[in-house]
Amino acid sequence: MIELRTPAQIEEMRPAGRFVASVISALAEKADVGMNLLELDAIAHEMIREAGAESCYIDYHPSFGASPFGKVLCTSVNDAVLHGLPHDYVLQDGDLLSVDFAASVDGWVSDSAVSVVVGTPREEDLRLIEVTGRALDAGIEWARPGARMGDISHAIGEVARAAGLGVNLQFGGHGVGRTMHGDPHVANDGRPGRGFKLKEGLVIAIEPWFMHTTDAIYTDPDGWTLRSADGSRGAHMEHTVAITADGPLVLTARD
């Protein structure tokens, strides 16, 4: 069911957005050569505790997950492109890391993701991150009353296609509110002018994710981590966005 939020409720969602943005920013800054993924998860766990927030991930067990997730972050490295389960891995020079984080503050959820290069970057990785960021911005620009969901999806896909990238449609954005995942689904490609008509009060997570040379994925033996079918690297960007009378309001905007 698609739920719309009042202006007062959207104001109530701002603390969750600010908190999630602060965690994402802190982790992006701390991600460096020699840092263990489990250390990053522990940092986020401590920030949750200090803020009196609640993790959306620890007990999360959807149909596509092998078991409850058990961690508070998704940390996807190189060919791990989504839902990376933190494990005993030390970041190496040149790794492409995507961090996805969602938390609840005072009963309201926000969800965000960022990709960074650890240490010495590869030009193709920087380009992939840049394209993914532009696709996110393009989708956000259409998050306005009167537009259609297909307009957001088409804007994202158009950026990917112009850069020569394929688009996987198995996973995308989603509604956000009292829970992390709700209706509507926000695909990363689509037809303009089609789909649900966007209304003031809708809050969605918009999250493009692309891989260098494929749009196919498979599930790692850990039952969670999704990897590219050909070993190519992936980038993932996400913001929680409220549709208001004044246009898109990015609740997880980072300083």
Sorted by where each starts, the structural domains of the chain and their CATH numbers stand as 7-250 (3.90.230.10)
Q: Please compute the mean of the pLDDT values over residues 211-218 and round it to a whole number.
A: 97
Count of C-beta atoms within a 10 Å radius of residue 50: 8
CA angle 130–189–61, rounded 5-degree value: 90
Q: Which percentage of the chain shows pLDDT scores above 90?
A: 97
pLDDT band at 255 (very low <50, low <70, confident <90, very high): confident
Is it the case that residue 209 has pLDDT exceeding 90?
Answer: yes
99 token code pair? 């961090």
The per-residue pLDDT for range 233-243, each reduced to its tens digit, is 999 999 999 99
In this prediction, residue 161 carries a pLDDT of 97
Sign for the CA dihedral angle at 60, 61, 63, 66 comes to positive
- pTM recorded for the entire structure: 0.96
**64-92, pLDDT tens digit by residue?**
888 999 999 999 999 999 999 999 999 99
Provide DSSP, the chain.
------HHHHHHHHHHHHHHHHHHHHHHHH--TT-BHHHHHHHHHHHHHHHT-EESSTT---TTSSS---SS-EEEETTEEESPPP-S-B--TT-EEEEEEEEEETTEEEEEEEEEE-SSPPHHHHHHHHHHHHHHHHHHHT-STT-BHHHHHHHHHHHHHHTT-----SS-EEE-SSSSSEEEEE-SS--TT-SSBP-TT-EEEE--EEESS-S-EEE-TTSS-EEETTS--EEE-BEEEEEETTEEEETT---
Given a cut of 90, whether residue 8 has pLDDT beyond it is yes
